Structure 1
Amino acid sequence: MLLRRFTALCLLTLCAFPALALDEKDLLPVDKAFVLEVQADTRDRIELRWDIAPGYYLYRHRTSVKAGPGFSAGALQMPAGEKKHDEFFGDVETYHRQLKATLPGTADPGAGTVTLEVRYQGCADAGVCYPPQKRTVEVRLPGASAGAGAGAAAAPAGGAPLFNPLARNDGGGLKLPGSAATQSLPLPSEQAFGFEAIVDDGNRLLLRFTPAPGYYLYRDRTSLALEGAAGIRTGKPQWPAGTSHRDEHFGNVVVYFDQVDVPLPLHRERADASPATLVATFQGCQTDGICYPPMTRRVRLALPAGKVSPSGEAMVTPLVITPLPSGRKPADPAAIDPANPPAPQPLVVRSNDNGGGASATTPDASADNAGRSQPPGNAGEGDSLAWILLLALAGGLVLNLMPCVLPVLSLKVLGLAQSGESRQHARRHALWYTLGVLVAFTAIGALVLALRAAGQAAGWGFQLQHPWFIAALVYLMFVVGLSLSGVFTLGGNLGGVGQSLAQRQDAAGDFFTGVLACVVASPCIAPFMGPALAYAFTAPAAVAMLVFLALGLGLALPFLLIGFVPALARRLPRPGAWMETFKQVLAFPMYLTAIWLLWVLGKQRGIDAMALLLAGAALLALGLWWFERNRWRSRRAGMALGAVLVLLALVPVWGVTRMEPPARAASEGTVAYSPEMLDRLRADNRVVFVNMTADWCVTCKANERNVLDRDTFRDTLKRVDAVYMHGDWTNVDPQISAFLEQHKAVGVPLYVVYGPGAPPRVLPTVLTQAIVEDALLRAAR
């Protein structure tokens, strides 16, 4: 039922005629469903009335009136409507049967008529919505002179519709460049533009676009991407020559009036076979008729084994395409009988490469949605590796300023200053700390690349989606804080490791602190990191690991410089009693970090998980305190009991993984992300701001606090009538993972702005109000 309603909505949005919907016998034309009458009783008051057919309703918030010169209008006055929760717009007011509205104002003394621009949108109770409507009405004002307003449009008698919907319709994103009297009824999108895709071999696909007679396809409004096949991406489509066309919307373009076959090479970083989904977004028009919004088709494919592309280039084997009759000539589309178009021909492919055979595929008809976003070009293409490594180095350096990492760095610098050791020892500390950072970054990079090679979506910070990892981090931050506060130290009979690893001034302590700095940096994506990580996730494995090592080197660089540059080391404060106090003060950022991580766990698994882990933390503190108390008294039984308490404290870490995620309601003024809802909004030609975020993402929360949660951002959304769509990646969500991979994003945050008939625009990782406002205004234009 939901699929049926969604398909009907897409068809109505694509076509100005409701008669083209799936239930055309039951749906009224828009101007019969909502009959508009306008009358001016006085020179300072204009009445508008919509007679609404039974089974239909109008939205209050989608109704507006703008007066032209000669009438200074006030705010449109409408009665209270029926309150309801709408699946598209949230909490709204609607009108059934009739809507009477008043436009107050003051007419100029010599004005005989006033022109009104009336906008409205409504739906059928059955669940099908019409595109937004715009009508231009010329109203005669009472008391005008005999010659004033001559030629004004008069309202027809008998309650008939005032206007022909073809004569003036700017709603729904459908353009009507031709004469309304000569246009044929437009076809639904899947009939107007056929699309097929088959596998030629492991390194190439063959696509076929089939415009119906009287329709044409834009070459440069087409984008192609693969989903579900990590390490395999689309190359540049090999379009044949098309027809030059002067288009009123896009200028000089190349179009295709006839069936066109397009080889599509594949870039491969892996040779094995893989299932995949081809996502094709394209746009076309009816000759002298409507232009459709961007439409998306998805085709499931079974890619055979192929050849790895050298240096990231696509492998292209010779291809012979059997010529097929098109059935008509582009120069004379009128010669074809629309009622009896030529039957589509099957795809015929002969490959000169024996490495793979052609296999037919079946389009996923349920996903034929208008307006699915398309990824931009692969991040880092065209940039030199040296530039990417420089970006990675800068991104790692900026990570040191993040609130989780800064206390760890301060702790090591403090320890170095406190030790008062020689320059040789300072260098050794710096090298072991750097080695810990690099090993940790290498491990994370190898894990991410391994998961992606296995076809699983994994981005920067993905490990924080798992409650057990968050719980372990809470314990780690808490234990480091207890150690800094002097509650316990590890050593003596526990393997002789000396003091707490975070404070130790030997190789193990330095190495562990480097690993800790990398772990606590994982919730953050600093400036410059995004392009570098995006390049790493699409580059060959060896090159990707170089990028991860550059990130690690940037993170370790401040401590490395202090160890190797004497001038910097001499600027460190002299050891003294103040350093013990400062060490204890550093415990509190660790406690705050543990509290923040505990909050993230509450978002993932609810308040019960927070309570369980707090109980575990209390048991952990008791065990460590009891162990420390008995260690100094050499009481082995007491030390054993403390160790048992520490082990029991680990049970809540397992317990939180057994809890179900709590229900998450969308915030006020936002729409929860789903591919289907995004497609609906794009088909309706709405401006959409998509925010992919997570509660564990520090950069996300900073952007929301500084920009996205402020009134100025909300006001900008209202100015351009934009929808704010929110995707929460705090827990694992395959739909959001697919969206991130579609845009070649390395993780969250990801901000994408969509505008009518335009490709999506990806915004920078760190937002400002100026960046967001500029993107929304450009999308609205």
Structure 2
Amino acid sequence: MRSMFSGRLAAFALLLLGLLFTLPATAQEDDGLLPVTEAYKLSADASTPGVLKLHWEIAPDYYLYRGRMKFKPADGVTLGEPTFPDGEKHHDEYLGDVEIYHHAIDASVPYTVAPGTTRLRLGVQFQGCHEVDPKICYPPHTEQLDLPLPAAGAAAGGGSLGAALQSLGATHGSTGGDTPLPAEQAFRLEAVAQDPQHLLLRWTMPPGYYLYRDQTRLQLRDGKGLALAPQWPAGTRKDDPHFGDVTVYFNELDLPVTVTGDAGGRTRLVLEASFQGCQDGGLCYPMMTRVLDVDLGGAPATGTPTATAPEAPPTSATQGPLQTSLWLALLLALGGGLVLNLMPCVLPVLSIKAVGLLESGESPARARAHALAYTAGVLLSFVALGLGILALRSAGHALGWGTQLQQPLLVGVLALVMLAVGLSMSGLVQFGASLGNTGAGLATRGGAAGDFFTGVLAVVVASPCTAPFMGSALAYAFAAPAVHALLVFVALGIGLALPFLLVGFVPALARRLPRPGRWMETLKQFLAFPMYLTAAWLAWVLANQRGADAVGLLLVAGVFLALALWWFERSRGRGGLVRAPVLLALLATAAPLYALSQLPPPMRAAQAGDGVVAYSPEKLAELRAAGTPVFVDMTADWCVTCKANEHTVLDTAAFRDLLQRTGTVYMKGDWTDVNPTIAAFLEQYHSPGVPLYVVFPHGGGEGRKLPTVLTSGLVEQALTQAAR
């Protein structure tokens, strides 16, 4: 079977270009083949809150592709990562090595719904083949599901991680239904030392609340040479819909804990307790972590909450960002914005600004006007970006620096903008006054508007980059009061615009600029190529987000955009009727972009292999409990800083040798698309976005957060220390 574009892409290409062809692969009933709905009988069950269960009955001599299953939710429904069983290995003539299913398959898809949603609506797409004569493959088939939500599922709305966890542990006919208590009131924890080798931990819970035994982790901070051995009492057996047969404790739990090893004359121990519990029939809380300072003389210690994210216990890297003063945050933001000018994501746009400054070399007044208009665009864009991120985060959305590029539609629009700017700089289309016109044309309002929107574009393309100093400043901004946060964003903007402000307002610097001349036209055309490379990079990001179909739609949109610009240039100076095809071509450009925005994410395989372990909170906790050093890398395809670090440090033979030498596990999380689990990890470590690098040492203990820009020496030092 040949891989085909989506139905939308084929429709656009057939109707408007006539360049693409499809390969018919329809099943014919007169050949004895079953209709697709009989060959693959799909049934769905949404009775478990927060989880959709799917079952396919597959007829004999038919099979389904695992990698061709896709899910498209309706408005108000957010889907998590689906879970499939391992399939049979199969080499397909056209698709290569794939996994397939015979006979039957069960899958599950976690979901959350918006408040007020009463039905679960989504499209389920799948594709399979008949493997004996006549050997054919069916086209992709989509079935629309419309299922009633259970009461707990309807309540779990909002799309947040806490909402997704709300359904855990719910049972029918239980005592739930009351408003859940805050975690600190629902699960009170104290610890007392009976002697230096024996501790007693006590959880106290109101009626109707329970604690999971197997979701509880205990460890000592700075407890080198010591270990904890809890003696769990008998609890209550519970058939949990997600964890299976588990042991839980209601009302009160007294847990004796033996401290093994030489206490070495210690008078105090710092104990970390991570645990999870539920309101019976209602809310299940995210993983909680309490830190207890235990006096070995016998004074009781009360647990201090330090985290609510369902991740590994917090470490020194999770200390509050507000320990940084406002003035230091502003200074870091200014420096980070200044360094941002040197980052590869900003350089293509700076080429536009460089040409503008060279154009104004004969006039100091024009240089100042260029600089001010550009700075205004930068500052207003940073303020708007900051306001948007802070508003959405306060509403419970997991957003950070650069997350706007998690939206495929914006990535596609940016790629087309870069293409249009490149065509303009190549001289194929003119959007304003020419380079040679340094007179009245440069004094028009259009020139200032061009500088302003160049500043806007600089901020948009700068967002995938995190320069040195920026991480701490942005972490402060996301936790500070709104006014302080906006000041940080303004300082970032001033830093980004500072080089051009200095050139515009310091005559000595302006005089060092080359004099305008014909050579500038050649320079301008040469600088178009970074624009084309940026467009190519954005297309690659889009391919990772939504697959080959998205790139095909982007190419169609690019063709229509080129058509619109070509006719715009051809009709320059003519009447409005002659320019009407420009509007039609632009509308044709918007159509594939809309289709692109409707594409579901492709089925992503876990990032494993070549010594890389896909990130999950459970796997990280397992490795830390085993005492294995772990290097956690949170990255994204649109993060230019991440890719630079990978190219120079992480994807090298030296780094792989270092991992082997230190016994460190390399764990990677991909934030290219929206991922609440990774967002929770970033929030736990007060990271405004990616990259985030955390090293967890051998034998447990606190993790170490590394700078956003890595060097081989820095990584080697961190992993060597962690392995000791």
CA 1:330–1:425: 2 relative to 1, 3 Å: closer
TM-aligned CA deviation for residue 558 of structure 1? 0.6
TM-aligned CA deviation for residue 247 of structure 1? 7.2
Q: TM-score, normalised by structure 2?
A: 0.59
What pairs with 1:59-458 in structure 2 (closer than 5 Å)? 207-210=188-191, 216=198, 249=225, 286-288=258-260, 296-298=274-276, 372-374=313-315, 376-378=317-319, 380-458=321-399
Q: 1:569-608: per-residue Cα shift (whole Å, max 9, x none)?
A: 0011011100011111111110100000000000001112
Contact preservation (8 Å) 2:337, 2:496: yes
- From 486, 490, 506, the equivalent of 1:545 is 486
Which residue type is aligned with residue 225 of structure 2? H
Which residue type is aligned with residue 720 of structure 2? L
Q: 1:624-676: per-residue Cα shift (whole Å, max 9, x none)?
A: 101220224x1533310122111211122221222222233324211111111
Match of 2:516 in 1: 575
- From 641, 652, 657, the equivalent of 2:592 is 652
CA 1:248–1:472: 2 relative to 1, 3 Å: closer
What secondary structure does 2:577 align onto? helix
Contact preservation (8 Å) 1:604, 1:662: yes
- From 596, 617, 634, the equivalent of 1:692 is 634
- From 541, 544, 563, the equivalent of 1:622 is 563
Q: Which runs of 5+ in 2 are unaligned?
A: 1-84, 87-178, 202-220, 232-254, 264-269, 281-294, 434-438
Work out the CA distance in 1 between the residues paired with 2:617 and 2:523.
51
Work out the CA distance in 2 between the residues paired with 1:655 and 1:208.
53
What secondary structure does 1:752 align onto? strand
Q: Which runs of 5+ in 1 are unaligned?
A: 1-85, 88-197, 220-244, 258-282, 303-328, 333-344, 349-360, 493-497
TM-aligned CA deviation for residue 382 of structure 1? 3.8
Work out the CA distance in 2 between the residues paired with 1:727 and 1:453.
24
Q: 1:728-768: per-residue Cα shift (whole Å, max 9, x none)?
A: 00000010000100111110000111122211111110111
Match of 2:13 in 1: none
Match of 2:703 in 1: 760
Which residue type is aligned with residue 692 of structure 1? M
- From 483, 507, 512, the equivalent of 1:566 is 507
What secondary structure does 2:695 align onto? strand
TM-aligned CA deviation for residue 330 of structure 1? 8.0
Which residue type is aligned with residue 611 of structure 1? G
Q: Does 1:596 align with 2:577?
A: no
Match of 2:411 in 1: 470
Contact preservation (8 Å) 1:295, 1:368: no
CA 1:247–1:382: 2 relative to 1, 3 Å: closer
Work out the CA distance in 2 between the residues paired with 1:721 and 1:202.
37
Match of 1:779 in 2: 722
Match of 1:710 in 2: 652
What secondary structure does 2:317 align onto? coil
- From 721, 730, 755, the equivalent of 2:672 is 730
What secondary structure does 2:367 align onto? helix
Structure number with bigger Rg: 1
What secondary structure does 2:579 align onto? helix
Q: Does 1:669 align with 2:611?
A: yes
Q: Does 1:751 align with 2:693?
A: yes
TM-aligned CA deviation for residue 507 of structure 1? 1.9
Work out the CA distance in 2 between the residues paired with 1:675 and 1:500.
59
Match of 1:637 in 2: 577
Work out the CA distance in 2 between the residues paired with 1:689 and 1:246.
20
Contact preservation (8 Å) 1:623, 1:645: yes
What secondary structure does 1:572 align onto? coil
Contact preservation (8 Å) 2:222, 2:701: no
Work out the CA distance in 1 between the residues paired with 2:262 and 2:551.
56
Q: 1:223-271: per-residue Cα shift (whole Å, max 9, x none)?
A: xxxxxxxxxxxxxxxxxxxxxx9977379x9x999xxxxxxxxxxxxxx
What secondary structure does 1:686 align onto? coil
Work out the CA distance in 2 between the residues paired with 1:331 and 1:485.
78
Which residue type is aligned with residue 382 of structure 2? F
Work out the CA distance in 1 between the residues paired with 2:256 and 2:640.
42
CA 1:637–1:412: 2 relative to 1, 3 Å: same
Contact preservation (8 Å) 2:318, 2:684: no
Work out the CA distance in 2 between the residues paired with 1:433 and 1:630.
30
- From 632, 641, 661, the equivalent of 1:719 is 661
Contact preservation (8 Å) 2:194, 2:296: no
Which residue type is aligned with residue 725 of structure 1? M
Contact preservation (8 Å) 1:604, 1:661: yes
Report runs of 4+ in structure 1 exceeding 6 Å deviation: 198-206, 211-215, 245-248, 289-294, 329-332, 498-501
CA 1:535–1:293: 2 relative to 1, 3 Å: closer
CA 1:631–1:203: 2 relative to 1, 3 Å: farther
CA 1:676–1:565: 2 relative to 1, 3 Å: same
CA 1:586–1:629: 2 relative to 1, 3 Å: same
TM-aligned CA deviation for residue 428 of structure 1? 2.0
Q: 1:309-368: per-residue Cα shift (whole Å, max 9, x none)?
A: xxxxxxxxxxxxxxxxxxxx9889xxxxxxxxxxxx9x99xxxxxxxxxxxx9x99xx99
Which residue type is aligned with residue 768 of structure 1? T
What secondary structure does 2:638 align onto? coil
Which residue type is aligned with residue 589 of structure 2? A
Contact preservation (8 Å) 2:373, 2:452: yes
Work out the CA distance in 2 between the residues paired with 1:621 and 1:204.
62
CA 1:284–1:675: 2 relative to 1, 3 Å: farther
What pairs with 1:47-62 in structure 2 (closer than 5 Å)? none
RMSD over aligned Cα atoms:
4.2
Contact preservation (8 Å) 2:345, 2:465: no
TM-aligned CA deviation for residue 204 of structure 1? 8.8
TM-aligned CA deviation for residue 383 of structure 1? 3.3
What secondary structure does 1:506 align onto? helix
CA 1:657–1:375: 2 relative to 1, 3 Å: farther
What secondary structure does 2:630 align onto? strand
Contact preservation (8 Å) 1:294, 1:683: no
CA 1:383–1:246: 2 relative to 1, 3 Å: closer
What secondary structure does 1:642 align onto? helix
TM-aligned CA deviation for residue 491 of structure 1? 6.4
CA 1:680–1:377: 2 relative to 1, 3 Å: closer
- From 712, 715, 718, the equivalent of 1:769 is 712
What secondary structure does 1:286 align onto? strand
CA 1:744–1:300: 2 relative to 1, 3 Å: farther
Q: 1:599-620: per-residue Cα shift (whole Å, max 9, x none)?
A: 0000001112111101110111
Q: Matched residue pairs, number? A: 472
TM-aligned CA deviation for residue 294 of structure 1? 6.3
